[in-house]
Amino acid sequence: MSATLLDGRALSKKLNKALKYTVADWPRPPGLSVILVGADPASEVYVRRKGIVAGRIGLAHHQIDLPVDVGQEELLWNIDQLNADDSVDGILVQLPLPKGLDADAVMARIAPEKDVDGFTATSAGKLAQGQPHLVPCTPKGVMELLADAGVELSGKTAVVVGRSNIVGRPMAQLLEQANCTVTVCHSRTQNVAEHVGRADIVVAAVGRPHFVKGAWIKPGAIVIDVGINRLEDGSLVGDVETDAAAERAAAITPVPGGVGPMTIAMLMANTAAAAKSRLGLD
């Protein structure tokens, strides 16, 4: 392997530690409330990790577990309670929601100033217009990783594979705002390999194991793998053929230990930013 590994675990630890000291003398700790509906094993793991990191930093963390058959109105009622609670700065509803619940309506109910996931239409609109407040955690974490690695973005060609509201779309916007020339590939894109092969920066966010082949990567490219896919043998792999891609890339994120911990660190940073603003410390 010739590529440098972009160590999200190490960077996230550094950022979390700095945040711990930043919030230590605030009038009250930033408050994060997480709603988990049902018992999806992957969601349970993610939510538990968020709680552990929040505790380490000294955030006031609170989890609400709702049954898989909770009604839309009861879920919205819970969000209303959190919107009205002054000690809560950030509200996160873990996705995906069980069938039958309307995730768009749920997101729309979250007060924009507490939208630490950056998923509301208000947050998305602000980001699209280049005046971001609370930016979705995964793309924000990718930008931090690139900055920490000293990757020059201006004038570069970036290809984002995936166009979800959670990752692909905001990722493309952030890269474009950093003066990259951005192409977004999606399920109807013809010849994804050709697009990826032109990219100085590749971000894979499709949720399909090893979708991006190592042979597609332009020599010297920076490869960011957002995917976390569990194979039948229990192992975790990304959306990129990491080993093969690392033979050609200048730098690549491992899975696990790349983007994942950065997403959590950015959730903490967003919660602190929301608290700072709500406490008038800006």
Compute the least distance from the CB of residue 251 to ligand GUN, in Å.
Answer: 23
Task: Please report the DSSP string for 165-194 in residue order.
Answer: TTTHHHHHHHHHHTT-EEEEE-TT-S-HHH
| Selected catalytic residue, list 89, 94, 114, 239 | 94
149-168 residues in contact with ligand GUN (CB under 6 A) are 166
Site for ligand GUN contains 92 (CB under 6 A): yes
B/e letters for 157-187, b = 16+ CB within 10 Å, e = fewer, are bbbbbbbbbbbbbbbbbbbbebebebbbbee
Of 89, 114, 115, 117, the catalytic one is 117
Residue 138 or 242 having the CB closest to ligand GUN: 138
How far is the CA of 272 from the CAs of 2, 53, 106, in angstroms? 37, 13, 23
DSSP string, 213-237: -GGGSPTT-EEEE---EE-TTS-EE
Nearest approach, Cβ of 119 to ligand GUN (angstroms)? 7
| Chain position whose Cβ is nearest to ligand GUN | 95
Catalytic residue among 50, 114, 156, 218: 50
Backbone torsions φ then ψ of 38, nearest 5 degrees:
80, -165
- The interface region with ligand GUN, picked from 8-16, 91-99, 126-134, 222-230 by CB under 6 A, is 91-99
- Asked if residue 96 has a cis previous peptide bond (ω within 30° of 0), the answer is yes
**94 a catalytic residue:** yes
| Least spacing, CB of residue 25 vs ligand GUN, in Å | 29
**Residue that is written with structure tokens 């053929």 in the block:** 241
Kindly state the helix (H) or strand (E) to which residue 25 belongs, with its residue range: none
Of 117 and 200, which has the nearer Cβ to ligand GUN?
117
40 is catalytic: no
Using the contact rule CB under 6 A, the part of the chain among 74-82, 92-100, 156-164, 214-222 near ligand GUN is: 92-100
**Is residue 137 near ligand GUN by the rule CB under 6 A?**
yes
192 binds ligand GUN (CB under 6 A): no
Helix (H) / strand (E) containing 60: strand 60-66
In the annotation, is 80 catalytic?
A: no
- Among 117, 144, 200, 225, the residue binding ligand GUN under the rule CB under 6 A is 117
List of residues contacting ligand GUN (CB under 6 A): 92-95, 117, 137-138, 166, 263
Question: Which residues are known to be catalytic?
Answer: 50, 94, 117
